[in-house]
Amino acid sequence: MIWRSRLLTRRFGNTWQTYNPVTNDWMNLYVSGYDGFDNNGGGKWTKYINIPITSTPSEYAQYKVAIDSTNVTVYAADGTQEAQGAVASDFWDNVQSDGGDMRVFDQAKDQLHFWIESWDYSGQNAVIWVKLPAGSTELNIAYGNPSATKSDYENGEQVFEFFDDFKGNSLDTNKWTAVNNPSLSFSNSIMTISGLNSVSTTPEFIKSLTTFGYDYMLKARVDHDFTGENMGGMGFAEDGGYTYPPKTHVAMYVDMSVSTDALQFITEDGINRAMSDGYTYYGGWTDFIVHRQSNQVYFKFANYEWTSSSALPTKILPVYIGGFESGLTGPHSFNFNVDWVFVAKLADPADFGTPQILEL
């Protein structure tokens, strides 16, 4: 008599198994998943966050993906929420503790450039920026490959219009020029800039070689040292020897002074349009954000926000970091740290569906 048995198979986790009636046991056949992303370490990705795109973008744009303990949320560069799905728990259950196995890709499994703004594995909070190409129909984030190492596509310079995280030991002269010799030091990917402003000195600062018109946003992570009267800041601004009040064009610039506890914001026409005499920031890392548009300007520093109500003159401007004024009695010093700074397009060409978890 010939004995025949139907082949039994099952999926156990991400591994397919077959039943062996002789040994009365299950044998591994192969591991499902995808290993086509870079630096896979010999492992495979089996799951990914899928964010459908419901209107195909005609131009590239930068989008922010925030992942907390519950939700995956997509934002345009100006902060507008685009989509949200309560699928984050699976991500945190399977991603590496340093996020080194994350891969961002499109509908064709082509990898996309991304940059991690913040990562808190224990607190389950992350912010990821992605450069979404024109013609994309999906935005995807793979995770859960314990063998993978950091992706070569995790690169802020490829994501943004302008980017610096100050990883070198000196100022990158392909990105910046120093004016009037501010004091600069670099340690642990942080730049410290300091200098003086007074009647007898000219402002000391660095400015970007790249310049920007309207419809761009600047964001930086800064730690300002309020020691003495500290009159420095950053933003989009024009060249010049500045007086106070400014007699030359100054745009998107913050003036921080411990003596008056005042936060000032000088707009393009040289007018101090926003000022807070009682804001509560006295040092510590915080975000500096400016949105520059033809019909309005939005500004945020620590707990203070301001939005203009009218259009301002058109200028093509570099990014400034440092001091900006002379003409007061003084001297007035400035001293603060910058972790990173980037400029993104204020563009929102795509619409998104609800994020979901799919298998590779």
**pLDDT higher than 80, residue 175:** yes
Model pLDDT, residue 351: 98
Question: Quick one: pLDDT at residue 24?
Answer: 73
What is the per-residue pLDDT for 6? 52
Mean pLDDT over residues 328-341, rounded? 78
The reported pLDDT for the residue numbered 275 is: 60
Contact assessment for residue 347 and residue 59, using Cβ atoms and an 8 Å cutoff? yes
294-303 tens-digit pLDDT: 777 888 877 7
Instruction: Give the pLDDT band (50/70/90) at residue 168.
Output: very high
Predicted pLDDT of residue 329: 56
Query: In 176-301, at which residue ranges do the beta strands (DSSP E only) sit?
Result: 176-179, 183-187, 190-197, 205-212, 216-224, 232-236, 253-257, 262-266, 272-276, 285-292, 297-301
Give the confidence band of 316 by pLDDT, cuts at 50, 70, 90. confident
The residue ranking higher by pLDDT, 241 or 76, is: 76
Q: Exposed/middle/buried for 222, CB within 10 Å: 0-12, 13-18, 19+?
A: buried
Give pLDDT tens digits for 180-212: 889 999 999 999 998 876 555 577 889 999 999
At the topology level, CATH places domain 163-345 in Jelly Rolls (2.60.120)
Which band of pLDDT confidence, cut at 50, 70 and 90, is reported for residue 304? confident
Give me the DSSP letters along 146-161: TT----TTB-HHHHSS
User: What was the pLDDT predicted at 250?
Assistant: 43
Q: What is the pLDDT of residue 45?
A: 96
Question: How far is 147 from 312, CA to CA, in rounded Å?
Answer: 52
pLDDT single digits (tens) 114-134? 999 999 999 999 999 999 999
- What per-residue confidence (pLDDT) applies to 54? 97
Half-sphere exposure of 136 (CA within 13 A, CB side): 28
pLDDT: is 183 or 229 the higher one? 183
**Dist. CA 101–CA 85, nearest whole Å:** 21
Q: Where are the domains of the chain?
A: 7-36, 47-155, 163-345
Lowest model confidence (mean pLDDT) among 94-108, 165-179, 295-309, 337-351: 295-309
Helical (H) or strand (E) element with 92: helix 88-94
241-272 confidence digits (pLDDT tens): 445 444 343 444 444 444 445 566 666 665 66
pLDDT at 167 over 70: yes
More confident position, 261 or 175: 175
List, as own/partner pairs, every contact residues 243-251 make where C-beta atoms lie below 8 angstroms and the sequence separation is at least 24, other chains included: 243/325, 243/326, 243/327, 244/325, 244/326, 244/327, 244/328, 245/270, 245/271, 245/272, 246/270, 246/324, 246/325, 249/313, 249/315, 250/324, 251/292, 251/312, 251/315, 251/317
